[in-house]
Amino acid sequence: MGVFSGHWPSESELDKLRQKVAEMSGRDAQEVRVVVSPYRICPLGAHIDHQVTLQSGQFKGEVRFRVDEVQLPKHISKTNGLNEQIDSSKPQEECKWGNYARGAIYALQNKGNPLKTGITGFICGSEGLDSSGLSSSAAVGIAYLLAFESANGLVVCPTENIEYDRQIENEYLGLKNGILDQSAILLSSYGCLTCMNCKISHSVENSDNYRPHVQTIKHKLIRPPEVQNNHVGELGNAYKILLAFSGLKQALTTNPGYNRRVAECQEAAKLLLQASGNEEVEPVLSNVEPEVFEAHKSKLEPDLAKRAEHYFSENERVLKGLEAWASGNLKEFGELITASGLSSIQNYECGCEPLIQLYEILLKAPGVLGARFSGAGFRGCCLAFVDADRAEEAAMFVKNEYCKLQPELASHINQGPAVLICDAGDCARVI
């Protein structure tokens, strides 16, 4: 089983991947199946016995375990028979690349899926690409799920795999993220804007374990009209996506800022619901009506008010963004992306000096319609939508300007392009 996370592989890349797995497993290359799992870009708002043998194109070593081994969460340790939460601000074993495969087994085992067949696999991402901020973790998790399911003849729908990948990250690795990333990877379609309702409910009986229960995974695909602004064909021909890399790398599981923001949003929701007489409702901001926030936001501490302000304003931007995309208004769509980036900085207070500088450089680049952090904004890269005719010019501008401000970080981006010009792709699948 070859597992490829990143861009759609060329025929030569597929041949190399099949040959690599054939050498590892002793099978014929034609028997090798390949799983492709794309990175996530969000403009608004991963054999013959029971053995698993994995090698990576990015990391050293080999991972071996059995699919019938019981997998326990990596962020929980056993001390004197009691569960003890490990400090996620310190680098832990879950950061090792093989633990995403173990996490996939954990999630499948949890739902009672019969796993009898392991895989010999080789996993690699897009060559020379720093995938920080593109949800490579969700892409990898989904790739492993699809690989194990294919090897064991399991038929699993995308919504089930969204829940399985949530379990990998929330329960196995201890990251308190939601379901947007894996949903985008599994539900998207080429040329469309994917709109998802990720409303979830969290168990309050044991908040330390943070086990969210998905209420809805409603989604719809928004197809753009033909573009009128001097462009021929569909909207996809009018723009390109720029990914500008900062040189910053840190796993979200080792960054306390991400989980802290989740807790702050929950606290804001709790106080707003209490103020409106709805304290029995699950304390998440999706359960708070906008008018309740407006009526009671003065009762929140400044930081909590900012977090809630970002949540409600971002929801509004998403709705406006859907309308702009459906009407082919790239100018308005870009402005909403930029406003999202600004709110991430001012209200959600993520990012750091290099990322903020990169964001500001993108806004000055020729032909850029809008820019924001890619992903959580605690590491990685920024994205921008740019006029297709000026994408090369914009990429060179961003690269040169960022090197002036952050020469040391820019020097870390030595295996691939500092700025990547790309297009939207299709969803994850077995090919």
- Catalytic residue numbers, as ranges: 181
Contact (Cβ atoms closer than 8 angstroms) between residue 200 and residue 179: yes
Q: Which residue has the tokens 């019981």?
A: 70
β-sheet bridge partners, residue 384: 242, 371
Q: What is the 3-state secondary structure (H, E, C) of the chain?
A: CEEEECCCCCHHHHHHHHHHHHHHHCCCHHHCCEEEECCCCCCCCCCCCCEEEEEECCCCCEEEEECCCCCCCCCEEEECCEEEECCCCCCCHHHCCCHHHHHHHHHHHHCCCCCCCCCEEEEEECCCCCCCCCCHHHHHHHHHHHHHHHHCCCCCCHHHHHHHHHHHHHHHCCCCCCCHHHHHHHHCCCCCEEEEECCEEECCCCCCCCCEEECCCEEEEECCCECCCCCCCEHHHCEEEEEEEEEECCCHHHCHHHHHHHHHHHHHHHHHHHHCCCCCCCCCHHHCCHHHHHHHHHHCCHHHHHHHHHHHHHHHHHHHHHHHHHHCCHHHHHHHHHHHHHHHHHCCCCCCHHHHHHHHHHHHCCCEEEEEECCCCCCEEEEEEEEHHHHHHHHHHHHHHHHHHCHHHHHHCCCCCCEEEECCCCCCEEC
The answer to whether the Cα torsion of 256, 262, 265, 266 is positive or negative is negative
